Amino acid sequence: MHEYSMTKQMVDIVVASAELNRAKKVCDIYLSIGTFSFLNPEQIRFWFNLLKKESQILVDSKLHIKPKKGLVHCGQCGYKGGIKYEDDPLYHIVFPTLECPKCKSMVTIIEGREFKIESIRAVV
């Protein structure tokens, strides 16, 4: 359910920015969503489509989502790259581990946590 609160915050920021810049309407919103934010882009889109109806300035706007891959670093072996995923057939889910794919040490997340408004296109 954290998709709702994140989408609500994003909508509030976009509306405030549009009002500050005296925009008549927002046409497009460009977001980047990182793998490690654990936000579901389809849920973000669902909540956005509901929330935009509450604001005249957003009612016709379109949301563009660019996924951002996660990047990790291992302090032990120097590995830099993607993360290892475990498949748990008991629960029918795939989940990421913070284990280095090479040496099995703990890794540090470098990129992929973001939920970022990249740009807003509006009519002034």
Q: Which residue has 């990182």 as its token pair?
A: 34
CB within 8 Å of 33: residues ≥ 6 apart? 39, 41, 44, 65, 66, 67, 68, 114, 115, 116
- For 76-109, how does the pLDDT look when each residue is reduced to its tens digit (9 = 90+)? 999 999 887 777 777 667 677 888 999 999 999 9
| Residue 7 pLDDT class (50, 70, 90 cuts) | very high
Residues 49 and 17 in one domain: yes
Whether residues 15 and 45 share a domain: the answer is yes
My answer on whether 63 and 19 are in the same domain is yes
pLDDT tens, position by position, 15-69: 999 999 999 999 999 999 998 888 999 999 999 999 999 999 999 999 999 999 9
Task: For residues 64 and 116, state if they share a domain.
Answer: yes
Cβ neighbours, 10 Å, residue 107? 25
Q: What is the pLDDT of residue 96?
A: 74
Residues 20 and 65 in one domain: yes
Q: What is the crossing angle of helices 41-51 and 2-20, to 10°?
A: 50
- Domain containing 34 equals 2-69+112-123
Please say if the pLDDT value at position 1 is more than 70. no
Tell me: do 93 and 118 sit in the same domain: no
60 and 118 share one domain: yes
The total of other beta-carbon atoms located within 10 Å of residue 84's CB is: 14
Number of domains in the chain: 2
